[in-house]
Structure 1
Amino acid sequence: MFAYRLPPLPSIGDILKLYNLDAKKKLSQNFLLDNKLRSKLVCAGGKLKDCHVIEVGPGPGSLTRNIFQQKAFHVHVIEKDPRFLPTLELLKEATYGRLSIHIGDVLKFDMKPLIPEELKREWEGDTPMIRIIGNLPFSISTPLIFKWLEQISKRSDIWCFGRVPLTLTFQEEVAQRMVAHPCHFQRSRLSIMCQNWCEVDHKFVIPGRAFIPKPDVNVSVVYMTPRIKPLIDLDFKLVEKVVFAVFSQRGKYCKRGVERLFPEHLREELVKKLLIVSDIDSTKRPYELSMKDFDRIVHCYAALLEENPTLKKYI
């Protein structure tokens, strides 16, 4: 048995001074020192009691403290910057070993070995007692979320344990794209990809002034739960290819983006066929298309690939 309450520790501000730590711009580091905001962020995804939590980019361990205050059973932190090792080791000692520290790049990190096998749950069942939380560096947030969405689609890495939810921070503009509905000015390929594989909830905005150093933008907290079944139930790379092509001509009629899926000598015939079969108005802009529209487009494109496999190599 262990106590949930942490022993007295120096404040994060004092620790930063003590170890002479500052945020590195090239790593997109920003520290959130406000305890109430940290607690609100950590709680945005629901209760953490007895959960195994993977925290991305803990820095000096400020959010990590709040995770433990919410009675998490064990916390794994993945940190790229080894300068924070002394501060994290201090917290590890205070939590009697319930903190595991991993120095590495989360874009290349395999999270699966961190979690006990007995925590596995059926995909169609309740979410497992595993959570991912992170105050993400802006520079990696979009490539990281695409990597994780692909793993969710394959139920690989940490998602072999079930529908593990995520509570993450993004630039406010990026978060708006993630949740944007048809006709919203921020509707983009990120909107389609996120909403296809996850239920995405934009929780709240943290003003930039709450961070040290202050970023040029506000920060949004987003909660994501993998869907039991994606809205477009096809291979990730296929969906990504079609969505990328359509949004490559975002301000023009969607027909222009669809054209990019086909070689020039077949373009007119196949674009016409795809739009007719999928019942898409060719004068709609990409950001006006619904998830059902994209579902029909991708399925029609998949059928055309079956008829003419050489198209798979195009683009």
Structure 2
Amino acid sequence: MTFDEMKARVADGQGFVAALDQSGGSTPKALRGYGVEEDAWNGDDEMFALIHQMRSRIVESDCFGNGKVIGAILFEKTMDGESGGKPVPTRLAERGIVPFLKVDKGLEDEANGVQLMKPMPDLEALCARAKAKGVFGTKMRSVIKSNNAEGIKAIVQQQFVEAKRILAAGLMPMLEPEYDITADDRAAGEAVLLVAIQEGLDTLADGQQVMLKLSIPVEAGLYAQLASDPRVLRVVALSGGFSTDEACEKLSQNPGMIASFSRGLLQDLRHHQDDAEFDKTLGAAIDKIQAASIT
């Protein structure tokens, strides 16, 4: 797919974006969820090899390429790996799935109710390498812990500053100012977040677009105006710790948002499943998430 073809696929595709981007810190948890305990590997290289096997098994499953998955977010090591004998971004594109790359380097300590992203001095070089591999866009995550107007404004400003670096590199940025779903003040804070995002969109140059990855809001439909904004290519939702059923039920109440689930996609997959059971389990999750995304 060309860049324009990938852009159209993301904008109009009747499906969702899979999140396969667990990083070093979250990989052990992802492997435990897959039924692989920490005594199964010795060192980071073996750990990453195991998580890559899981991801490759997902990518190669027939149901993953059935048109319901329109994009996939990759960890850097996954982008650099192979699936089906080909570079992962190439293999995804062959299957009609638009590749994205997680580019953030983790989170700072909490301050003013948020965790900002750590500095990304090598962002331009990483984007250039990703673009050469056929990656369409990026994703970067920061976290809101409470309704602190100063912190929320800072987290959104940082997201847009980095987005402009990514746009300049020729990739589509996906901004992810995640709101912790356990926060007691989330409903009020999401209203503050909405205003901050709208102000950030106003700083984009004519013709520029971004994507947004947001927690499913407490107030159903809160982000509908973002989904219809011409400066926003697509609004995707993270599952944020909700189970698949919970996340899909809540997502279905938010027309204009599509899923970008990790836990919600992977929660019932296990390494000991044979191929038929694995594909059946993955296919059921894909069907459920896609249905919630096109409601």
TM-score for both structures, normalised by structure 1: 0.28
- The structure whose Rg is larger is 1
TM-score for both structures, normalised by structure 2: 0.30
Higher RCO, 1 or 2 (CA under 8 Å, sep at least 6)?
Answer: 2
